[in-house]
Amino acid sequence: MRRALISVACAVVTTTALVSPAAAAPTRTQEKGDVSEYVVLYKEGVSSDKARAAVKAAGGTVVRENRDVGVATVRSGNPQFTQAAMTHRALEGVAHNRIIGQAPKTSKRAAASVERTVGAQGKVRALGKPTKGEEPLAELQWDMKQIHATNSGSYKKEPGDRRVLVGVLDTGVDGDHPDIKPNFNRKLSRNFTTDIPTDADGNEVDGPCEFTSCVDPNDWDDNDHGTHVASTIASPRNGLGMAGVAPNVSIVNLRVGQDSGYFFLQPTVDGLTYAARTGIDVVNMSYYIDPWLFNCASNPADGPEDQLEQRTIVKATQRALDFAQKRGVTLVAAAGNERIDYTKTNTDGSSPDFPSVPGEKPRERTVPAECVSMPSEGNHVIPVSSTGPSGRKSYFSSYGNGYVAVAAPGGDKVDGPDGKPDDRRGIWAAYPERLAKERGELNDDGTPKTSNIIRSCANGKCGYYQSIQGTSMAAPHAVGVAALIVSKYGREDRSGGLTADPRFVEAMLRGTATAKPCPSPAAYEYVWYALVDGEWQKRTSTQTCEGSKGRNGFFGSGIVDALNAVRR
């Protein structure tokens, strides 16, 4: 995946002063007769009829409309559509949408198969017998122990209520994974995306489509990211594999991310408003909205259309966040993996990361603190930083005093005395067997070939699990605790479910977190080693924590605690 927030190489560095852009922003051009797609933001308070008339007058056709927040997908062959649209008072913003194609092929579902577990750097080791009542792979779950989501901890007090609905806004969820299926709500799950075979330059994005019209079923994950997130939140206690933070709550797949890991504006808006309309209690958002890591209202490094696009992304997303929060949805997001302070000026060399027109490439630009990453910096959102097994902030996790709300386990594979990666320090969670087979990660007998994949079998069923790291993995731990809070303290709603005010849920999440001070010295130097061409090479990063023990840039209000949250 590209943009889902697992730990990856960074294209963002901290800077202390504004600098001039290295090159002027390119002008976006569209050949006459070519049809492009846009996301158009209606002016608040304007009727849909007036807004659609304005779109038509600008040379566009509405192909999809979200009336809850006034956002529409529009197609136009007018090369000057953006400029024409902005002459109409009924319209407030325009952003390029991604180009969609179709290339169907026959899908292949894999069947399950036998067993092995692994340890550091690919060495095979056997797991001992689990403690009575524990799941078979509980030994690997240092993350659950860190937040007291265990048999003797929160599971005993409050394992969650099936009436609590958790929406996973991600790349999809493998609803047939045996350690997700018991808690998977197929009826409410939806896919808001269409697969993109290639981009504007003809480069492969999602690859050939597996289903007619390039729309995957609502229980499908061609990436693995969403399945991992869902498993961390709510894998059941069923004697197979491992349990999630809230093993009795229900998972709803709200697919808003592409197979490739890109997340675009319209699907995010649609997923959030659907969650609000459907009674979803908590959503997990482990991504940022492409193509801009940071959205700036008037960055001189960007041309007028790019500035407009970024303003549109912020406004449209915030409308959807407001809509969801007012209707009882607690909003949780990953804080980012750039290992930067979001409250400072930074340099972004990764945006725009997806071409709207042929030849468009990322460029370096200075981004002051007022530029925002969405949805994590949206109002009402709870951003979560990542911790490793030792309890330190993960080396890759972004941070910022006043930005991070809470911290949670997200893995840190180099959080050890030798600074070398060890899969046992990642977060283990469900992995689609179909993908393991397609990627050649299994032996003929079904045993894993690689150190970051394990398998568990019980009662004739087998499930695969993988170890990965990232703030993407931290957010679902916080989401799981939020789901427990709704389970414990929520009231019954009109539809027979449970609900709780998101402001109460956030206050409980923060108030019951384990406060953790900044390291001493506050300018903490991370040291680790990366294997390059067969040799270990030293890496370092100095990151400065600001704030008090009760609230700081590394841990926010503290590390979430499932037991503390439900022990009343």
Residue 421: asked if its preceding bond is cis (omega within 30°), the reply is no
Domain assignment present for 59: no
Q: Is 86 left (phi over 0), alpha (psi -120 to 50) or beta?
A: alpha
Q: With bands split at pLDDT 50, 70 and 90, how would you rate the model's confidence at 130?
A: low
With a CB cutoff of 8 Å and minimum separation 6, the contacts of 494 are none
pLDDT of residue 133: 81
Q: Domain holding 195: CATH number?
A: 3.40.50.200
What pLDDT digit, counting tens, does each position of 434-481 carry?
999 999 999 999 999 999 999 999 989 999 999 999 999 999 999 999
pLDDT of residue 32: 52
Query: 365: helix, coil or strand?
Result: strand
pLDDT of residue 2: 45
How many structural domains are present in the chain? 1
- HSE at residue 364, side-chain half, CA atoms within 13 A, is 14
- Hey, which residues does 346 pair with through a beta bridge? 14, 367
Domain assignment present for 412: yes
What pLDDT digit, counting tens, does each position of 487-542 carry?
999 999 988 999 999 999 999 999 999 999 999 999 999 999 999 999 999 999 99
Burial of 286 (0-12, 13-18, 19+ CB in 10 A): buried
Domain assignment present for 268: yes
Domain assignment present for 239: yes
Residue 16 pLDDT > 60, yes or no?
Answer: no
Winning range, highest mean pLDDT, from 11-25, 251-265, 356-370: 251-265
Domain assignment present for 224: yes
With a CB cutoff of 8 Å and minimum separation 6, the contacts of 351 are 291, 292, 293, 294, 362, 363, 365
| DSSP state at residue 204 | B
Domain assignment present for 248: yes
Contact call for residues 374 and 295 (beta carbons, < 8 A):
yes
Q: Which residue has the tokens 């009795």?
A: 248
Domain assignment present for 276: yes
Burial of 157 (0-12, 13-18, 19+ CB in 10 A): middle
pLDDT of residue 28: 54
Domain assignment present for 55: no
Query: 329: helix, coil or strand?
Result: coil
Residue ranges of alpha helices (H) inside 374-413 are: none
Query: Domain limits at 214?
Result: 12-19+105-520+550-566
